[in-house]
Structure 1
Amino acid sequence: MKESGFRTIIKGVSTERKIIWGGQNMDAIRFYSRTGNTEKVANLLSEQLNVKAESIDSPISEPVDRLFLGGGVYNMSADKRLKAYAADLDPATVKEVFLFGTSGSVFTIEKQLTKVLKKKRIPVSDEHLFLHGVMPKMGNISGHQKTEIEEFAKGAVTQ
C-alpha cells in the first residue's frame, strides 16, 4: 500500500520463506531517536510485538529472525550513529531487517540503511513503515498512525 504526501508508505509483504532458528521466531527492536518521535513508534511497535524496544546502545546479544530497526531523518539523512550501528550488525546474528522511522518531511532512511545492510548481506524486508509529518515536540502519534503501526506489525509477523 502506498499513500502520497505526509503519510506512511508500506510496501507489500515479502513472500520469502523463513527459516526459524530454534523452532520459534526471535525478534528485536532497536531505534535511534533525537526528538523522541521514533522512540514513540518503537514503543507502540513493542506493544504490538510483545518485544522490548531498545535504543541502538543495546547490542543484539543473541540471534534474531527479525530486527525492527528505526530512526528519524535529520537534515535529509539518517543519523551517522544509526548508519554505523547498521554497518556493525552481524549477518550471522540478524536474519532480516524491517525498517521503520519518522520524518517531518517526505524523506526516509530506507535507501541509506538498505545500502548499508545489503553490503553486509543482511536481507531487508519489503515491509516497512515510515511516518511522515511527525515534527519534533508536536505532540503524540495520531490514531491513524497507530493503526498503521499495528498493520505494519501484523504484516511483518505473517511473513
Structure 2
Amino acid sequence: MNIKVFYHSSTGNTEKLARAIADTLNIQAKQLGEDPISFSEPVDLLFIGDGIYFGKANKRTRSFIDRLDAKMIKNVAIFATYGGESKIGTDIKEMIQNKGIRVVDDPFTCKGQSWVFINRKHPNETDLSKVRKYAKNAAAKVDR
C-alpha cells in the first residue's frame, strides 16, 4: 500500500504527530515546503497535517490541497494541532472533500503548545499514543 505523510508545522507540534504516524506505519513524514509536490503514482492513503494559524490552515497546506488530484489520491486522513480553536481538522476535511477525495475518518486533533503557557507540554505522550492508534485505524479502512 502506498501511504504518504505530509505536514506543515511552525512550532513543532504537528511535526510530533507526523513523526508518530510515520514511525507507526514505517514510512517517512515530509514537511510541506515552498516547492509544489506531485505524485508519480497513485497514493492509497495520504495523511495531511497542520496547525491553526490565525483561524485557518497555513497557506502551504491550503496550496498543497488545492493542487491535489482526485485521480491520484484515493484516501486522506487528517491530523492537526491547535492552541485554542479546534476547528482546524474540520476545515481541512472540508477542503479535501470539496476536491472529491474520500476522507477515511474524522480528523485527529489535539492540543498543541501555543505561545508560552497555553497547552504546555502538548502534544504529550497520551496524544502521541492516540495518533498512533488513529494511524493504524485509518490504514485499516483503506480499500486495497
Fold match by TM threshold 0.5: yes
- Residue 7 of structure 1 corresponds to none
Secondary structure at the counterpart of residue 103 of structure 2: coil
CA contact 1:99–1:129 (8 Å) conserved in 2: yes
Query: Partners of 2:50 and 2:19 in 1: how far apart?
Result: 13
Q: Percent of aligned pairs with the same residue?
A: 29
CA contact 1:128–1:152 (8 Å) conserved in 2: no
Larger deviation, residues 79-88 vs 131-140 = 131-140
Unaligned runs of 5+ in 1: 1-24
Aligned residue-pair number? 135
Question: Whose relative contact order is higher, 1 or 2, with alpha carbons under 8 Å and at least 6 apart?
Answer: 1
Deviations along 1:2-44, one digit per CA (max 9) or x if unpaired, are xxxxxxxxxxxxxxxxxxxxxxx11000001111111111011
- Residue 17 of structure 1 corresponds to none
CA contact 2:82–2:111 (8 Å) conserved in 1: yes
> Which residue of the other structure, out of 141, 148, 159, is the alignment partner of 2:130?
148
CA displacement at 1:56 relative to structure 2: 2.0
Unaligned runs of 5+ in 2: none
CA contact 1:31–1:53 (8 Å) conserved in 2: yes
Q: TM-score, normalised by structure 2?
A: 0.83
- Residue 112 of structure 1 corresponds to 91
Larger deviation, residues 88-97 vs 112-121 = 112-121
Query: Partners of 1:122 and 1:147 in 2: how far apart?
Result: 27
